[in-house]
Amino acid sequence: MATEVTKEFTQGLPKAELHLHIEGTLEPELKLKLAKRNGIDIGQETIEEVKETYNYNDLASFLAVYYPAMNVLQKEEDFYDLAMDYLRRAAKNNVRHVEIFFDPQAHTSRGIAFETVINGLYRATVDARALNIDARLIMCFLRDLSRESARKTLEESLQYKDKFIGVGLDSDEHNNPPMKFFNQFTEATKHGLHVTAHADIDQKNSIEHIRELLEVIGVERVDHGTNIVEDPDLVEFAAKKEIGFTSCPLSNSFVTPFMKGKEVLELLSKGVKVSIHSDDPAYFGGYVSDNYYAIADKYNLTKEQVVKLARNSFETSWISTEQKSIYIEELEKYAKEN
């Protein structure tokens, strides 16, 4: 039996996007345009040639394509254009609120100033108001770099503290447990920043990493993290504490053989606040509505389940209770009328 959910329904669904790497929205068109503008030879000249380089089947092979591409991002205007391109797409997906990840170390390590990155991105989040989107930034630490690099990055970022709302943790998880960054998470919390972190799919020690995040570091959300289903006690804990789990079906099906829809449905049924997002949409074949539709289609989701996933996205976002109620009311009205 086919799902009752249509592509149009997922597109118009009011939603919050909470797991979106801005560097992962760099579409081949913009990559080529920026390469030309900045006089950078990326080794490809057409969209087809760029797409031919998109060969990956796990996290490490994806990251090996992802980081070198960022070299086309040089000036404040480039970061602004990158974010505005994404935000225009988000508006078409009826994203009402977005919390955007950015990786300063991927840029400062190539000689681009922190200020260049954050000012370009921040200006786009301000201009997003004209698109009726409330956009915020989350600064991620690259977990495969040193603690000292993360410490320096956090220290430098604090002078721009009014321009981002939280910290995250991403990049290669292999042998890089969350506890490596315990001090940075503690320090960030002291400064009033929110805290989330990736627990990528099917990693060595996935469950231990999720346990560290929930029981020791005290994150508010886990990015991916569906391996938690392997530990019923942790699932119960996550449900009780209303921890958000940001799942990305299309990205999952690139870096593992599965979309992890079964795990998402299990978490949903156990009262965990799991939600659907797009991760690196320019690399994984779809924006957030495509991700909703992909999981709905493959796992035969009901409209009610899809609406619940969207509701969870608002409930676990870092906005005021009043603002959450406004968005949820909008969502309920949409669900009733469509």
Residue ranges of the annotated binding site are 19, 21, 198, 279-280
Q: Which residues contact 215 (CB under 8 A, 6 or more apart)?
A: 237
Residue 290 binds: one of Zn ion, ligand ADE, none (C-beta under 5 to 8 A by kind): none
CB of 282 to ligand ADE, least distance (A): 11
Q: Output 3 or 289, the one with its CB closest to Zn ion.
A: 289
17 binds ligand ADE (CB under 6 A): no
CA 82 – CA 24 distance, rounded (Å): 10
Site track 249-278 with ligand ADE (rule: CB under 6 A), x = hit = --x---------------------------
Question: What is residue 180's three-state secondary structure?
Answer: helix
Q: Say which residues have a Cβ less than 8 Å from residue 115's Cβ, sequence separation at least 6.
A: 160
Two structure tokens written together for 303: 């409209």
Structure tokens of 234? 């942790």
Residue nearest to ligand ADE (CB): 170
Residue 24 engages ligand ADE in binding (rule: CB under 6 A): yes
**Number of residues forming the site for ligand ADE (CB under 6 A):** 10
280 binds ligand ADE (CB under 6 A): yes
From 85, 99, 279, 315, residue interacting with Zn ion (rule: CB under 5 A): 279
Select the residue interacting with ligand ADE from 212, 279, 290, 315 (CB under 6 A): 279
Question: Is 170 a binder of ligand ADE (CB under 6 A)?
Answer: yes
Please count the other Cβ atoms lying within 10 Å of the Cβ belonging to residue 192: 9
Q: Torsions phi, psi of 258, nearest 5?
A: -130, 160
**Burial category of 25 from C-beta neighbours within 10 Å (exposed 0-12, middle 13-18, buried 19 and up):** buried
Provide the token pair at 52: 């031919």
For the bound state, the minimum distance from the C-beta of residue 290 to ligand ADE, rounded and expressed in Å, comes to: 16
d(CA 273, CA 237): 12
Among 10, 74, 94, 171, binds ligand ADE (CB under 6 A): 171
Handedness of CA 173, 112, 137, 154 (dihedral sign): positive
Which residues lie near Zn ion (CB under 5 A)? 279
Which residues lie near ligand ADE (CB under 6 A)? 21, 24, 59, 170-171, 198, 200, 251, 279-280
